[in-house]
Amino acid sequence: MIYKTLQDEIKRRALRNQSGTEYDDEIKNVINTSLFTLAREAKWRCLRRKTYFTTKSSYTLGTNYVSVTNSSTAFSLTSTSTDLWADKIEIGRYVKFGTDSWYYKIRAINSNTNGVIDLAYRGTTSTATTYEIFPQEEYNLPVQVDHRAFLWHEDYGYPCRMFYIPDQTFFDTGVNLTEKNTPTHYRMWGANTVMAQPPTATPLSVVSSAAGDTTVQVTVFGKIAGYPYYETVTLAGTTSTNTAYEFEEVERVSKDGSTSGRVTVTSSRGSYEVAVLPAGDTTATVQYSKVQLYPLPIRPFDINVYYYKIPYRLVNDDDIHELGQDFDEAIILLSVAKIKYQENQIEGDKWKRLYDDEVSSLRKTNIDKIDWKPVLRRAYEERTDPYVTKNLMYKQAGANYGRSSR
DSSP code string of 170-194: HHHTT--TT-EES--EEEEEEEES-
- Spatial separation of the C-alpha atoms in residues 281 and 259, rounded to whole Å: 7
Q: What is the pLDDT of residues 67-125, one digit of tens each?
A: 999 999 999 998 888 899 999 999 999 999 999 999 999 999 999 999 999 999 999 99
- Spatial separation of the C-alpha atoms in residues 94 and 108, rounded to whole Å: 12
Residue type, 176: N
Q: Distances in Å between the alpha carbon of 218 and those of 194, 236, 276, 367? A: 14, 11, 11, 38
- Spatial separation of the C-alpha atoms in residues 313 and 350, rounded to whole Å: 26
Whole-model pTM?
Answer: 0.83
Q: How crowded is residue 48: how many other Cβ atoms within 10 Å of its Cβ?
A: 14
Average of per-residue pLDDT values in the chain: 88
What's the pLDDT score for residue 258?
85
Indicate if the alpha-carbon torsion angle 403, 294, 166, 252 is positive or negative. negative
What's the pLDDT score for residue 400?
46
What's the pLDDT score for residue 343?
84
Cα–chain-centroid distance for residue 275? 10
Q: What is the pLDDT of residues 275-321, one digit of tens each?
A: 999 887 655 557 888 999 999 999 999 999 998 888 888 888 899 99
The number of C-alpha atoms within 13 Å of 132 and in the hemisphere containing its C-beta is 14
Instruction: Tell me: pLDDT of 383 over 70.
Output: no
- The closest alpha carbon to 51, from 136, 135, 138, 145, belongs to 145
Instruction: Tell me: pLDDT of 147 over 80.
Output: no
Order the strands of the 204-208 sheet from edge to edge: 241-242, 204-208, 263-267, 273-277
